[in-house]
Amino acid sequence: MTTQEIRMVQVVSEDGRVDEAQEPKLTKQQVFTLYQTLIRLRTFEARMMNLQRSGRIGFYGGSVGQEATATGSAFALEKQDWVFPQYREPGAALIRGISMETLLYQFMSTAKDIGKGRQMPVHYGDRAVNYVTISSVVASQIPHAAGGGWAMRLRKDNAVALVYFGDGATSTVDFHAGLNLAGVFKAATVFWCNNNQFAISVPREKQTASKTLAEKALAYGFEGLQCDGQDIFAVYAAAKYAVDKARRGEGPTMVESLTYRVGPHSSSDDPTRYRSDVEVDTWRKRDTLERVRHYLRHKGWYDESEDARLHKLAEEEVTRAIEAAEHAGPPSWETMLEDVFAEMTPLQQMQHDDLAAYLKWKEARA
Amino acid sequence: MVSVQFVDKDIVQVINEDGTAQRHLEPKMTHQEHLRLFRTMLLVRATDSKAMNLQRSGRIGFYVPSFGQEACQVGSASVLKPEDWVAPAYREPGAALVRGYPVKLLIAQCYGNKADAQKGRQMPSHYGSAATNFITASSPVGTQIVYATGVAWAMKIRKDPRVALVYFGDGATSEVDFHVGLNFGGVFRVPCIYFCNNNGWAISVPREKQTASPTIAGKAAAYGIEGARCDGNDVLAVVQVTKQAAHHARAGGGPTLIEALTYRMGPHSSSDDPTRYRSAEELEAWKKKDPIERYRRFLEKQGIVTAKDVKDLEADVTKEVEDAVAQVEGQAAVAPESMFEDVYAELPYHLRLQRDALLGERKAGAMVEYEQAEGKFPL
């Protein structure tokens, strides 16, 4: 029996103290990119939930409370790296350079949606920035990322796969298969677990009896560590460590980022049914943006008017994106027959002609 | 910073290779109990030898021998009470024998004839019996792990002080059912013993390609349960570790993952040729660690048996196996219509029709009944 320590990374404490030993090397400009992304993200999230509640998009899954864990981790990646998202990482999407317009085109299933309106809202992806399309099926992205990371290692691509999943996903088959394979073949994969304490309504303590989720990595022969998911600098430091290690060919790492979903699981969920207001308030106070402001003050970089300016910019950006999406119109019906066969099969051609004839008839009747 | 206990390289060993013992670790056992264990191990070896010969000469279709793994199965199962449950993989005939399953039925199951309690419905080496709480072996890897977890959970809910013991191999640890079973077992602290026979090979996949975890027992940490490692070729170490696990489970402490380090000295099954994937040197090295030899040396040193006793016991078990074959072989085949039994209390019309057709007794009335029943499928 040996005792193994699961390292916990925290840079900025809740009361604003900065641990300089753990502090990642970031330029002022990089810090402001993170800061601005968090503001953009928070503004975006608030408006999206309102759009759903007012019936302008059909569904939304928000990441309020978890902004830092997705944003900071994706910031540790290079351009050639790949993201295998869960469904609660719009912060990672913004960092990869996916615009708010692109996201909204998807949420509203418009003609300008990369996915041509074929996925339910919040299931976006963008090949141009190596951002794999989101799947609601819990953990299915983990084997994809294990395979992706293995391929990158075999091909000496100098690239890394980063995969996001929640605490609930650790009980799935795909978690077990993915991490075990990655351990054996030293895949260049970072397994990023956003432990937000609830798998929809199942609390963490009913999910598994292990002390931490990070220690599950030991069962697959690689390192697991924890980070404070509300502290974007800790998140970045943990991610950078794991990403660099994978890039050097030293195999996978699992990071358990301790966070909390302040909002509902999705627009279809009512979290008051399964958790207490006191708990939510406790976590609301561990606000990510406030932690960044502490850091900025520590550096002497905080400026209230700049904070206000960034918020205003973000509001304008979201408004522009919504307007663009609401005017984009739906995809043409013919697109449903595209992208599977190079040429339409006779059966598809028949269906195409039937539908065209029907629409023509309907138009004439109107 | 969180500290995690990880079961590393330490291995519980009671009998040293020369037959001397680490007395402080030795489980308390009477001479009678030692003799029973030893005889059962010899009986497994004799059964395996005979059954492999029967297979090679075409008298049975298939067999799964457990040469080299006798101590794991016999030692662990000997700790259990008759009312406990065993969910085997398929390399634990010794566990069945310890629980009182007669060798005659083991052999009969391989023949699948009238003498077979399972009516010839399973491929050879897939025995089981409700009378001994020994769940029928199943070839899909790891399926039994979830059954045992569920059985143990049920016993906990019913406040029934019984435990479940499930066997599986090193390969099964990569399976879905392992992950699901152990995680569930950990959350609900079920009285289950997860017994991994780590024989170094999942058919042809070596242990180091199976998982990067330094040990299999270390995986216990990932599920918040106890873990232990023992020398699987040392029957007393197996007894000792399993006893602790059973005690822990009965006391409400939850499951234990045991990793018994052993080696399959024979092929994976009668359909396998292990020379294709492993070296003769490796096999030779393990033959020197033969669990039966190790135990014999210990028993002789302790004065529990003499060399003559061993010879007598060997002759005795060989005769038991030969007698079983003599009684079973030559019995009639299972009646084909028995395939319609044991699912429905009363046979539904469509099965009656099939049975009658099989027996060449299709009655005029059967078809009428079938037509009348149309649209009311199946009952």
pLDDT tens for chain A, residues 1 to 366: 889 999 999 999 999 999 999 999 999 999 999 999 999 999 999 999 999 999 999 999 999 999 999 999 999 999 999 999 999 999 999 999 999 999 999 999 999 999 999 999 999 999 999 999 998 999 999 999 999 999 999 999 999 999 999 999 999 999 999 999 999 999 999 999 999 999 999 999 999 999 999 999 999 999 999 999 999 999 999 999 999 999 999 999 999 999 999 999 999 999 999 999 999 999 999 999 999 999 999 999 999 999 999 999 999 999 999 999 999 999 999 999 999 899 999 999 999 999 999 999 999 998
Which of A185, A193, A215 would you mutate first to test chain B, the one with the most B CBs within 10 A? A215
Residues of chain B with pLDDT under 70: 361-379
Is B224 in the A-facing interface, judged by CB distances under 8 Å?
yes
**Average pLDDT taken over every residue of chain B:** 94
| A167, A207 Cβ separation under 8 angstroms | yes
Note whether A6 contacts B5, CB cutoff 8 Å: no
Which of B1, B2, B226 would you mutate first to test chain A, the one with the most A CBs within 10 A? B2
Note whether B221 contacts A219, CB cutoff 8 Å: yes
Note whether A215 contacts B4, CB cutoff 8 Å: yes
| A84, A151 Cβ separation under 8 angstroms | no
Residues of A in CB contact (< 8 Å) with B are 1-8, 171, 173, 175-177, 180, 183-184, 186, 206-212, 214-216, 218-222, 226, 251
Helices and strands in chain B, H and E counts = 13, 8
Q: Is A274 a catalytic site residue? A: yes
Residue A161 makes CB contacts below 8 A (sequence gap 6+) with A81, A82, A84, A145, A146, A148, A149, A152, A187, A188, A189, A190, A246
Nearest to A3 among B3, B214, B222 (CB): B3
Give buried/exposed letters for A132-161 (b at 16+ CB in 10 A, else e).
bbbbeebbbbbbbbbbbbbebbeeebebbb
Q: How many CB atoms lie within 10 A of CB A165?
A: 27
Residue B142 to residue B125: CA distance in whole angstroms? 16
Q: What are the Cα distances from residue A31, in Å, to A58, A73, A75? A: 35, 13, 10
Note whether B179 contacts A218, CB cutoff 8 Å: no
Specify the pLDDT at position B83: 97
- Provide the residue type at B354 as one letter: Q
DSSP letter for B280, please. H
Note whether A173 contacts B179, CB cutoff 8 Å: yes
**Closest CA of chain B from A33, distance in Å:** 30
Note whether B2 contacts A173, CB cutoff 8 Å: no
Nearest to A209 among B2, B219, B223 (CB): B223
* Chain B CA closest to residue A218: B213
Note whether A211 contacts B4, CB cutoff 8 Å: yes
Query: B205-206 and B226-231: which strand pairing?
Result: unpaired
| B169, B177 Cβ separation under 8 angstroms | no
Residue among B374, B367, B371 nearest B352 (CA): B367
Q: Which of A265, A291, A293, A294 is catalytic?
A: A265
* Chain B CA closest to residue A173: B176
Dihedral sign (CA B155, B147, B215, B183):
negative
Specify the pLDDT at position B365: 56
| A224, A217 Cβ separation under 8 angstroms | yes
Is B81 in the A-facing interface, judged by CB distances under 8 Å?
no
Residue A359 to residue B192: CA distance in whole angstroms? 63
* Chain B CA closest to residue A208: B187
**Contact pairs from chain A to chain B, CB under 8 Å:** 105
The DSSP line for B213-234 is SS-SGGGGGGGT-EEEEEETT-
Assembly ipTM: 0.91
Which of A189, A208, A226, A254 would you mutate first to test chain B, the one with the most B CBs within 10 A? A208
Note whether B179 contacts A7, CB cutoff 8 Å: no
Task: Quote the distance between the C-alpha of residue A21 and its chain's center.
Answer: 28
Q: In chain B, how long is the greatest CA-to-CA distance?
A: 79
* Chain B CA closest to residue A219: B219
Phi, psi for B113 (deg, rounded to 5): -105, -165
